[in-house]
Chain A
């Protein structure tokens, strides 16, 4: 099953390499990873998605917690949460295709953030599934380039991950 694991990490050099190193060292799998400092500059928030059996996920969270620089950890997928991924995608936009791309972008509530005579650059945020669906709807043959941020997420309701 796919899990979204969210960490508060000491914002120190080398901390990220320990997280990533742990995954390769123990043969775990990272689907996506995103990291940036928080409002408290001594902390970074890292979100990673991984796929594995429950026992594997349990070992992953335990071993992440063992890393000295990991301050707090939550498996977001264990309870109700919001997940978002940002995608920028360059799409061929010529002839009849130009209007079609615009319509599809509107349906997916994306925005065209850059325009040339032959290319639209679309910005789209949502779950990974939604981004996949957009790519499918547009068709890979007209896509020139995509860049995705990886998944970030936050728990619903009053629950917070803080020190």
Chain B
């Protein structure tokens, strides 16, 4: 057995756990750890320019791979700067392990320099947290942290490490633990077979079924099982914002995203459904609109790994607690076992209705205008076309996020990287960096706006250092678009603090950091310049695209209404 210091154990553990990259920023409380890191060639550390970006990079990696991203931040401000990123991961159930430095245990509680109660501050936004009490427990605690972060309903785990737990001279026996032992934690391993059978029979008898699939399908690696089930039932599939890509976006059975900015087809199908199969989704307020008016004739089957998600806002008629992949696979097998198919007449009648809703103009029709200004929707359609629908696309938060969700055709899971729950502006760019670092040969685009991009723009410097050739697609309308849209709709167009005076010249800014900047103002340049940008495989390109400031995101559900109550344009509503 080897004798290692606490600092060496942390680094060795990460190596033994197969962690290739960690994202962080050094500081006093972590100097022993950074010294150990200096001597370990197999774990590479990415130095960000702000700790929030480290958490989003780790988050982007986790969303693309399903594995926990690892963050290393120092005590005090390092830890507090990580909080937004931890909350972002928590809200979307993203696996993450955050190692935070802490003042020496003998100084904890004395208001020491750069001391903050990280365990206390992060408590409501972590799946769990640990404080290291003795160096010898480091391997076991870290094993637990990774296990908790990645298993069950994933989430961020904080490990707070007082500096004296990492003292170089104090060495203890190290072994890499094979398994984490936690008597009080046992996530469900499979669903209840009786409930699965009941749900299968209900789906077979349904006349107007809808499959409503969320981020849990992606986190649970259940896209293949979902697709098989949907095809078995010939049922329409709608995705939440978080679930995009869990079902192929180009498939005819896909009716688009649902909810506040969901498609007319998806929202109407939900409203008129007689059976809703909710999979890995949580009936978020941005989906259901008024809970009292939600889908009046629907029986609800709800599959989720987290019992607390079931019947939280909408009562489930058939709750199934379990991992979505195994539950869906068992449902597919049960349907085969029953040996019946849904009634052909019912399927035909339901699809006739859905096609009527979908109409000739597709899921998200918009006015293309006369071409004198670039429509933001057109930019996303062009991006989808230039990248063949195969890129990893991250986004920030606002109108551009909704346009990306509506107009990019995600055909694969884990490709759409966005902050759905917390809605964190500044997320998209570092998240894209985390993806690009781990998928250097793939196209990675960050769809953003001139508001969001400035919340973590300092990371252009990190991209230069590590050669991260992300493509930034900046939908620049010179205003905080979504805020402005709400002000247009609800505040008589009083644009209180929703426009950006003195925007920088983004082309020059990108160039100042050593990257390529392009400004696109003419529609005819859009496709060729975007293609040119993506052809520059090894360069970060900042595409600053002037888009129509007057554009709103539609459909938009009407507050306190049902799923089907929507504005369809500035003048039409359902």
Determine whether B183 belongs to the interface, using a CB cutoff of 8 Å to chain A.
yes
Task: Collect the chain A residues with CB atoms within 8 Å of residue B124's CB.
Answer: 21, 25
Task: Collect the chain B residues with CB atoms within 8 Å of residue A66's CB.
Answer: 306-308
A21 to B148, CA, bound (A): 20
Tell me if B123 and A21 are in contact (CB < 8 A). Answer: yes
Can you list 6 pairs linking A and B with CB atoms under 8 Å apart?
A: A13-B131, A59-B308, A63-B308, A68-B182, A68-B185, A71-B183
Partner of A55, one of B123, B129, B184, B311: B311
Determine whether B509 belongs to the interface, using a CB cutoff of 8 Å to chain A.
no
Task: Collect the chain B residues with CB atoms within 8 Å of residue A18's CB.
Answer: 123
Given the contacts A14-B119, A17-B120, A18-B123, A65 and B307 also touching, CB distance less than 8 Å: yes
Q: Which of A2-30 contact B (CB under 8 A)?
A: 10, 13-14, 17-18, 21, 25
Q: Which of A113-163 contact B (CB under 8 A)?
A: 163
A89 to B131, CA, bound (A): 40
Determine whether A58 belongs to the interface, using a CB cutoff of 8 Å to chain B.
yes
Tell me if B123 and A58 are in contact (CB < 8 A). Answer: no
Tell me if A69 and B184 are in contact (CB < 8 A). Answer: yes
Interface residues of A: mostly helix, strand, loop or mixed?
helix
Q: Which of A51-89 contact B (CB under 8 A)?
A: 55, 58-59, 62-63, 65-66, 68-71
A10 to B127, CA, bound (A): 16
Q: Which of B81-95 contact A (CB under 8 A)?
A: none
> Separation in Å of the B199 CB from the closest CB of chain A?
20
> Who on chain B is nearest to A60 by CB?
B308
> Measuring CB to CB, which residues of chain A are less than 8 angstroms from any residue of chain B?
10, 13-14, 17-18, 21, 25, 55, 58-59, 62-63, 65-66, 68-71, 163
Task: Collect the chain A residues with CB atoms within 8 Å of residue B306's CB.
Answer: 66
Determine whether B336 belongs to the interface, using a CB cutoff of 8 Å to chain A.
no
A112 to B285, CA, bound (A): 56
Tell me if A68 and B128 are in contact (CB < 8 A). Answer: yes
Determine whether B573 belongs to the interface, using a CB cutoff of 8 Å to chain A.
no
A sample of 14 more A-B contacts (CB under 8 A), given A13-B131, A17-B123, A25-B124, is: A17-B120, A21-B123, A21-B124, A59-B308, A63-B308, A65-B307, A65-B308, A66-B307, A66-B308, A68-B182, A68-B184, A68-B185, A69-B184, A70-B184
Task: Collect the chain B residues with CB atoms within 8 Å of residue A55's CB.
Answer: 311
Q: Which of B137-165 contact A (CB under 8 A)?
A: 148
Determine whether B312 belongs to the interface, using a CB cutoff of 8 Å to chain A.
yes
Tell me if A59 and B312 are in contact (CB < 8 A). Answer: yes
Task: Collect the chain A residues with CB atoms within 8 Å of residue B120's CB.
Answer: 17
A70 to B308, CA, bound (A): 15
Task: Collect the chain B residues with CB atoms within 8 Å of residue A62's CB.
Answer: 307-308
Task: Collect the chain B residues with CB atoms within 8 Å of residue A14's CB.
Answer: 119, 129, 131
Interface centre among A63, A68, A69, A70 (most CB of B within 10 A): A68
> Who on chain B is nearest to A63 by CB?
B308
The 8 A CB mask of B163-195 against A (1 = contact, 0 = none) is 000000000000000000011110000000000
Task: Collect the chain B residues with CB atoms within 8 Å of residue A25's CB.
Answer: 124
> Separation in Å of the A77 CB from the closest CB of chain B?
20
Task: Collect the chain A residues with CB atoms within 8 Å of residue B185's CB.
Answer: 68
A100 to B217, CA, bound (A): 69
Task: Collect the chain B residues with CB atoms within 8 Å of residue A58's CB.
Answer: 311
> Separation in Å of the A54 CB from the closest CB of chain B?
11
A71 to B185, CA, bound (A): 7
> Separation in Å of the A32 CB from the closest CB of chain B?
22
> Separation in Å of the A28 CB from the closest CB of chain B?
12
A163 to B123, CA, bound (A): 26
Partner of A10, one of B148, B184, B307: B184
Task: Collect the chain A residues with CB atoms within 8 Å of residue B129's CB.
Answer: 14
Task: Collect the chain A residues with CB atoms within 8 Å of residue B119's CB.
Answer: 14
Task: Collect the chain A residues with CB atoms within 8 Å of residue B128's CB.
Answer: 68
